Amino acid sequence: MKISTKFKKYSTIAGSILMLFPTGVNYLQGNVLPYIVSYLHSLGKYQDTNIGSEVWIIGLYYAGFISTIMTSYFEKKFGMRFMMFVGVILISTGFLSTHFSVQYSMWLVAFTFGLLPGIGVAQCINVTISIIVKWMPDRMGFGVSVITTGSGIGVLVLNNAIMQYVNPEDIKTNKTINSINQYIIVDLLLRACWSFYNVLQPSSVFTDEGILARTPYLFLLLGSITVLVQIVSIFFIYIVPEADEEEQIILEKSDHWSPKETDRDKVVNFRTDVESYAASNLNLLQVLRQPSAYLLMVASSFYLGATLVVSATYKVQSFGEQFIKEDSILTNIGGVAGFMAPIFRPIFGILADKISHKLCLISMCAVLVVLLETFYYTQYMGVAGYSLWLVLLMVHLGGGQPLYRSTIPRCYGVENQSSNQTILSFGYCTVAIGISLTAPLILSKLGWFYLFPIIGILPLLSILALAVFNVRLKDGTRI
């Protein structure tokens, strides 16, 4: 029995959501790092002077995204399904091998829980985007936003699994250490540039024997969940059909076309529409000659910088602890925020496709500027005010990245989009490392009052870059 094209498309969407389920590693790191640090410290393999500088691992995770420079080449040589399998192996291998690396050194952990999953996640994300934008060429923003809800849902589920397995009794850190931040990667540079480089600040670790004993086995749990979900997802994903089946895709989308048109007219219009994208199928070297590519890189990178501070480094939760003492309330607030973020992604995708990616992203950045510049004052608004601000922040931060990714194939074509995503990946890597190192330094020297307004400048810079960004399709449609 022949499987209908409509079934293939929706099966691919479902499979892509599952494929991206474990790809929010950067959000998991903020939750897992305290357990890693505590475990290594208990073994005497992590010095007091290093505690507090671990967020550079998140920057190393984004460094793995540079591997996308070769993704399109390997896709064409070995096939998209093969590249998805490679991504699955890298992510699960990274998680599983951290069971061993966490018993030796933070540098090995940085490789197995930072760089290795980063490379794997980059492959999974880019290949699934390559597939979905060909299935939904007229709704790229919506398609990419829908499948990336898998990452948000995965973070929500896996973070709760981590908490329930490692620390089910919600035990707090109970040993305070006055540590000196050692920013390992740029140690000499920071010593030369910052007179207040060595900042004495309190850090804390877990000493509960149960938590420490369970920490290495946590990564076996994460690795097992990852490989199970992603292997299953591969069987749901159908590679986009060839030209002889494209007609059937359009004929089943009757609501997209005028009823006055004949079936043949629909096919002709579809092929013209595809050519308006395909005619601009630029490779990475050609994209690098486009000024718009650098504007897009700058805009998306500064947007990511704000995301890192609010989400990946978990500094917002520490801010909340200054005036909300009940840890269960903070956990519930974070859970609601994490749940709402993926729900709103498809809504932003629809708006971007209906209006334009540029205007939608500018609006989201403007809201972010207001939220970040006023976030410090939520401590005077009670639990309700803090909760509302945090949910709005997570919704807007989570909704922007899929739109930036879907803008790449809309601007430069779908054929080489995996490699062209390197434009964004390079910016992500640079900003992630910079923010991971400087944000704790700003906080320790200037405090919360200045941290959020300074970070609020980043989406403002994104607005300026997007204002200059101006790309249209051949039919005159503004991206």
Q: Is 396 part of any domain?
A: yes
Query: Do the domain assignments include residue 166?
Result: yes
> Residue 272: inside a domain, yes or no?
no
Within a domain: 254: no
Rg of the chain over all Cα atoms, to the nearest angstrom: 23
Cα gap 150→164, rounded to integer Å: 21
Is 477 part of a structural domain of the chain?
no
Cβ-based burial of 423 (10 A; exposed 0-12, middle 13-18, buried ≥19): buried
The predicted pLDDT at position 259 comes to 36
Res 114: pLDDT: 86
Cβ–Cβ under 8 Å, residues 452 and 372: yes
Residue 479 lies in a domain: no
State whether residue 478 is helix, strand or coil: strand
Tell me the pTM. Answer: 0.74
pLDDT value, residue 314: 42
Residue-level pLDDT at 200: 38
User: Does 256 fall in a domain?
Assistant: no
Which residue do the tokens 């005077």 mark? Answer: 380
Task: Please list the alpha-helical segments (H only) found in 139-208.
Answer: 140-147, 149-166, 187-193
Neighbours of 328 (CB within 10 A): 8
Position 260 scores a pLDDT of: 39
Full residue range of the structural domain in which residue 41 is found: 5-240+279-468
What span, in angstroms and rounded, lies between the C-alpha atoms of 54 and 133? Answer: 36
Query: Which residues, in sequence order, are CB contacts of 42 under 8 Å at separation 6+?
Result: 205, 207, 212
User: What is the reported pLDDT for 393?
Assistant: 85
Domain harbouring 444, CATH code: 1.20.1250.20
The two three-digit tokens of residue 60, written as one number: 């190393």
Residue 324 parent element (H or E): none
Q: How many domains does the chain have?
A: 1
For the chain, 479 residues long, give each residue's pLDDT as a single digit of tens: 677 888 888 999 999 999 998 887 777 776 787 788 888 888 887 665 555 556 667 777 877 888 888 887 888 888 888 989 999 999 999 999 999 999 998 889 889 998 899 899 989 988 898 899 888 888 888 888 889 888 878 877 887 888 888 888 877 665 555 444 444 444 444 334 433 333 334 456 778 888 889 999 999 999 999 999 999 999 999 887 654 444 444 434 434 333 333 333 333 333 333 333 333 678 888 888 888 889 999 998 888 777 766 654 443 446 776 677 665 576 667 667 766 777 788 888 888 888 888 999 999 999 999 998 998 898 888 888 888 888 888 888 778 888 888 888 888 888 788 888 888 888 877 887 777 777 767 777 777 788 888 888 989 999 999 999 888 766 667 77
Q: What is the pLDDT of residue 19?
A: 92
Helix (H, G, I), strand (E, B) or coil at 122: helix
> Looking at the domain assignment, is residue 475 inside a domain?
no
